[in-house]
Each structure stands twice: as structure tokens, then as C-alpha cells.
């Protein structure tokens, strides 16, 4: 689960003067549940209209991409690490990504190109420096 990677680096992010906010296409109630379960103390925002996703250039998945071996391997590896997928919430086709903001402005974006793609926390940390 990508959230675990970010959570594991929260102290380092804080030392660098950075923070993290997760954005969901679900409801405020679903976001609160996600925060309480996966990101205690973290900030979880909701964007059901997906306007932030569109502004950042985060695309949408297609049915065929779910058949890609990389997607299946990513799911299997997550399970082996002890992460389970929860109940589907929000828009299942919306791809995510990472946006680095400084002084309220977007300075770099890492859009995910598939549901198996994950932005490396280390790459983002290097960009924060």
C-alpha cells in the first residue's frame, strides 16, 4: 500500500519542512475513515468532482489496463507484504499521483500511468531537498 510508504517517511518529510495530504474522490465520511485507519494524524482531502486530479494531469484508467501483468503482480506483492485492499470507495478508475507544492504553487508532478504505478518516496524526498 502506497500510504504505508509515505507514513514510514513522515518524520523525514517533517524534518525537510514538508508535509503530505492524501486526496480522495470519496465522501468526507470515507476520507475520515481512511485517515483513521491508514493515516492517523494525516490530512485527507476530498475531491469528488476530480477537479484537482484534472488540474494536475492525473489520468483515468481503462478496463484493459486491469489485465496487465504488472497490475496483478503489484496486487500480489502488496498482499505478500500484508496489505489488503479495503472496500472500494470513490472513483475506481481515477489514477493518482504525487504533486510537490512550494509556497502554494505546484512545482513538480508525478502522475501515475497505471493502477500498478507508484511514485518512489525517495524520488520525491530528493526533489524536496
Q: What is the mean pLDDT of residues 12-40?
A: 86
Q: Are 4 and 83 in contact (CB under 8 A)?
A: yes
Cβ-contact 29, 36 below 8 angstroms: no
pLDDT surpassing 90 at residue 52: yes
2-128 belongs to which CATH class? Answer: alpha beta
How is residue 68 written as a grid cell?
Answer: 496487465
Q: How far is CA 7 from the centre of its chain?
A: 11
Which residues contact residue 4 at a Cβ distance below 8 angstroms, ignoring those fewer than 6 apart?
Answer: 38, 83
How far are the Cα atoms of 15, 80, 113, 114 from residue 97, in angstroms, in the given order? 22, 23, 9, 10
Mean pLDDT value across residues 10-25: 85
pLDDT in tens, 57-105: 998 886 655 666 666 566 666 667 665 665 556 687 888 888 888 888 8
Whose CA is closest to 24, among 54, 57, 48?
A: 48
Taking the whole predicted model, whether its pTM rises above 0.85 is answered as: no
With cut-offs at 50, 70 and 90, classify the pLDDT of residue 1: very low
Residues 9-16 have a mean pLDDT of 86
Given phi > 0 = left and psi -120 to 50 = alpha, else beta, which region is 32? Answer: alpha
Amino acid at each position: 500500500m502506497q500510504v504505508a510508504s509515505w507514513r514510514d517517511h513522515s518524520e523525514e518529510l517533517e524534518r525537510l519542512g514538508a508535509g503530505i495530504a492524501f486526496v480522495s474522490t470519496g465522501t468526507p465520511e470515507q476520507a475520515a475513515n481512511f485517515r483513521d485507519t491508514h493515516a492517523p494524524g494525516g490530512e485527507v482531502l476530498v475531491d469528488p468532482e476530480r477537479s484537482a486530479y484534472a488540474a494536475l494531469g492525473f489520468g483515468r484508467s481503462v478496463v484493459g489496463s486491469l489485465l496487465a501483468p504488472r497490475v496483478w503482480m503489484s496486487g500480489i506483492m502488496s498482499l505478500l507484504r500484508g496489505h489488503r485492499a479495503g472496500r472500494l470507495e470513490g472513483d475506481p478508475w481515477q489514477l493518482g499521483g504525487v504533486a510537490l507544492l512550494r509556497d502554494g504553487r505546484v512545482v513538480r508532478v508525478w502522475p501515475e500511468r497505471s493502477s500498478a504505478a507508484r511514485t518512489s518516496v525517495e524520488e520525491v524526498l530528493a526533489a524536496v531537498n
